[in-house]
Structure 1
Amino acid sequence: MNSSADESDSGAPLPDFRTQGLQLQTIAPALGVINQKASPDYLDYDVKGRGIFSTMFANSGMAYLLGISAGGIYGFRQGLAATPSTRFRVQVNSVLNHCGRYGSRAGNALGVFAVLYSFYEGVSDRYEPEELLGLTRQYPSLAAFISPVFGATMASATYYAPSGIRVAALAGGLGAASVAVTYGGYKMLGIPYGKLGFLFL
């Protein structure tokens, strides 16, 4: 009885290898089939670098991290110096209070400045004022310097705008001067400007 059952059983069904409904273009180029009609798919790429929003997020995150680190170290020192008692619990409380106070202030300030700077630099890159001023042909080395100067000037002026026009103008001048000093220092040292990819550094 077992032998007759084995003879009648043909085993598992064979898979269907018919390819009438298969479009090889959807599987290509794994099979070496190239669809000449369809345009190639490329990732979006900005020749000038990252987009304005990704730059904004990266700069603000790094600036906030640097701010809370520097402010936290300063707050640690101030907390130890301002401790009213020698008891360990009181010292820890004083250090934590000062670290939180100075760290959050510095982190928030630098983070906001980074967002403003990235926005204004992105706007300048978008409209290319160096092309309008003719600097690209006459002074090509200064062409990459325009957007960081504009970004730092406008970011500083915007940040201090609530304090008045004079303070905002002074802050804008200091922002432009800081970019100019950084640019000059990089040129003297022979380092490509913007090598770090963070703000105007």
Structure 2
Amino acid sequence: MSSSSTPKPTSSPQTSGAARLLQRQLKEMKTAKDLPGISVGLVKESNIFEWEVVLMINDDCKYYGGAYFRALMTFPPSYPLMPPKLVFQTPIPFHPNIYDNGELCISILHPPEDDKYGYESAAERWSPVQTPETILLSVISLFSEPNDESPANLDAAKLLRAEREGGPKEFRKRVRRCVRESLGED
């Protein structure tokens, strides 16, 4: 899952501080007993700024039947002042908040600046109090309650809205197909 296009952070006091923080946060997540459904590790042992994530989505959410989704979480050298990026790997979940290229669109991963469209308040955007753990818990929450108000995947949002309004269960069909792919059944 290595990404050769991701630049390796240069050594600076801020980068080494970010690296130490990420090492601590990774260790805490690996030893946490209260994070069911989340598995994290490094893509390469030599790069603390790239994490491989596996999310095991349970049967109780909109992703009927449970699923295993892999993602790459890439942290900038300026972490925790700036947010990481989370990109789902193939198969990419069919979800209103995930772009076709797999990139997750969630307010807490948007830079801590004013939203030029006025949709998000500054309090909803990235803050250094967020951690990889809180990010991934928010992502799991998005699988239970997708946000169709500001969609990254317009087709998924339209199908979800139609289904919520009593229309055809096309969203559910697409999600089931996505779940089967994630489990290697398609």
Higher Rg: 1
Q: Which has the higher helix share?
A: 1
Structure ranking higher on relative contact order (CA contacts 8 Å, 6+ apart): 2
TM-score range, shorter chain: under 0.3
TM-score, length-normalised on structure 2? 0.24
Q: Which has the higher strand share?
A: 2
TM-score, length-normalised on structure 1? 0.22
